[in-house]
Amino acid sequence: MATSRPPSVTVDVVAGGTKLSIRRRDLEAEDSPIDPCFFDDSYTVAGSTGFLVWEGGWMLIEFLEKHLATLGTLTNRRVVELGSGTGLAGLCAAAHGAHVLMTDLPSVVDEGLAQALLANSSGTAATTTTTTTTTTTTTTTNTATDTTTTTTAAAAAAATATATCWPGARPVGSKGGSACCQALDWTKSVSEQSFPCDPTSADIILAAETVWLKELVAPFVSTVVTLLQGPNHPACYMAYHERGKADSATFATTEDLLAELTRQGCTFNVVAEGIPTRGTIQCAVYSIYCTEASQPAVISHQYHTQ
Ligand SMILES: C[S@@+](CC[C@H](N)C(=O)[O-])C[C@H]1O[C@@H](n2cnc3c(N)ncnc32)[C@H](O)[C@@H]1O
């Protein structure tokens, strides 16, 4: 249970024609050197980063926008975001028409993501029940009644979207997208955290700045590998900014990350790099895939550099 909440500010962003408002911690307004959440039962150093917007988050949003066409559009795709934090990237993907399951540690889901979802969604929770609306045309002749049932294209599209939504998802934006949130802790098995939403049924996996502590690298990669082996052979896009130095015992380096990906049987490519427009630091976006699974479309983009 949280003891006191730190001050926060709103970050506005427009995605898919929809304005989203995200709350992030306001570090400048904090006058105490001690994190106000430090004495919470659920406090962890890793989780404490979930209430800020990170450079990689901006990079991922920009990447998605610039490559929507190559990615084959986000509309009606099931997306799982790992380590969603404030929900910025996940909600942007939903505003572009995707059905997004935003995940993080339980404390971040309860105290940040759930509120971000409520603040940026419209209407009631979508249902996964496949409902097919039919139009009935009745033709009357002298002796018989001929009834023709026509399923309209619009109704079929709506039914597809409804079927693709994650259980309990709420509509986001004007492009038919939706989002919901659920705890997914990389240090636990995915199968024990698969209810009501099963993250292994994703079409696309997203992650931004999720691996900065050495101790998180192996559990994070292991979670990615489990999701990559899902039935839809998802593509995985991870925005990354290196924070570790070679001699650091705490912070992960690019070398640590890439070595672990290789050790766990993944292949990767840098598909974009540079400084995101709303950021200040050099980031990269990697596409990651398992050698047996299909490789995502090759895209390469250089953002502006310093
Ligand atoms: C540096 S923040 C990045 C947040 C967001 N993706 C962004 O770019 O703004 C790292 C995120 O990973 C989450 N995280 C840390 N350890 C985790 C774990 N074991 N399982 C799931 N999420 C974790 C944190 O709670 C936090 O939201």
Question: Residue type for 36, please?
Answer: P
Task: Name the band, by pLDDT with cuts 50, 70 and 90, for residue 17.
Answer: very high
* C-alpha 260, offset from chain centre: 22
In this structure, the residue with its CA closest to atom 4 of ligand 1 is 85
Bond before 196 cis per omega within 30 degrees: yes
Residue 185 CB less than 6 A away from ligand 1:
yes
Closest residue by Cα to atom 10, ligand 1, is: 210
As a whole number, mean pLDDT of residues 70-75 equals 74
**Which residue, by CA, sits nearest to atom 13 of ligand 1?**
83
Quick one: tokens of 171? 């509509």
The residue whose CB lies within 8 Å of the most ligand 1 atoms, and thus the one to mutate among 25, 37, 49, is 49
Index of the ligand 1 atom closest to the CA of residue 52: 9
CA of 47 to the centre of ligand 1 (A): 6
User: What's the CA gap between 170 and 255, in Å, rounded?
Assistant: 39
| pLDDT, position 136 | 35
Query: What are 43-50's contacts with CB under 8 Å, separation 24+?
Result: 43/107, 44/105, 44/107, 45/213, 46/105, 46/213, 46/216, 47/104, 47/105, 47/107, 47/108, 49/85, 49/212, 50/83, 50/84, 50/85, 50/86, 50/104, 50/105, 50/107, 50/108, 50/112
Question: Could you tell me if the CB of 111 is within 6 A of ligand 1?
Answer: no
Region 182-209 average pLDDT? 96
How would you classify the pairing of strands 135-140 and 145-150?
antiparallel
CA 207, CA 299: separation in Å to the nearest integer? 17
Mutational pocket test of ligand 1: of 105, 186, 281, 285, the residue with most ligand atoms within 8 Å of the beta carbon: 105
Ligand 1 in reach of 104 Cβ (< 6 A): yes
Structural element, H or E, at residue 219: helix 214-228
How far apart, in whole angstroms, are the C-alpha atoms of residue 36 and residue 98? Answer: 35
Lowest mean pLDDT among 3-7, 183-187, 221-225, 274-278: 3-7
Paired with 103 in beta bridges are 182
Nearest CA, atom 14, ligand 1? 83
Residue 242's pLDDT is what? 87
pLDDT above 70: percentage of residues in the chain: 72
Q: Give 149's pLDDT tier (boundaries 50, 70, 90).
A: very low
* 204 and 71 Cβ atoms separated by less than 8 Å: yes
CB atoms within 10 A of CB 212: 20
Mutate to test the pocket of ligand 1, among 79, 185, 210 (most ligand atoms within 8 A of CB): 210
**Angle of the 254-263 helix axis to the 214-228 helix axis, nearest 10:** 40
Q: Report pLDDT digits (tens) over 84-141.
A: 999 999 999 999 999 999 999 998 999 889 999 999 998 776 655 433 333 333 333 4
Task: Give the sign of the dihedral formed by CA 35, CA 41, CA 45, CA 51.
Answer: negative
- For Cα atoms 81, 82, 85, give the angle at the middle one, nearest 5 degrees: 90
Please tell me the distance between residue 138's alpha carbon and the centre of ligand 1 in angstroms.
57
The number of beta carbons lying within 10 Å of the beta carbon of residue 119 is 14
> With 70 as the cut, is the pLDDT of residue 70 above it?
no
How do residues 203-216 score in pLDDT, each as one tens digit?
999 999 998 899 99
Task: Find the range with the poorest average confidence among 2-6, 29-33, 58-62.
Answer: 2-6
| Percent of the chain clearing pLDDT 90 (strictly above) | 56
Token pair of 291 as six digits: 């050698």
Query: What is the greatest pairwise CA distance in the chain?
Result: 90
Which of 70-84, 119-133, 166-180, 236-250 is most confident? 166-180
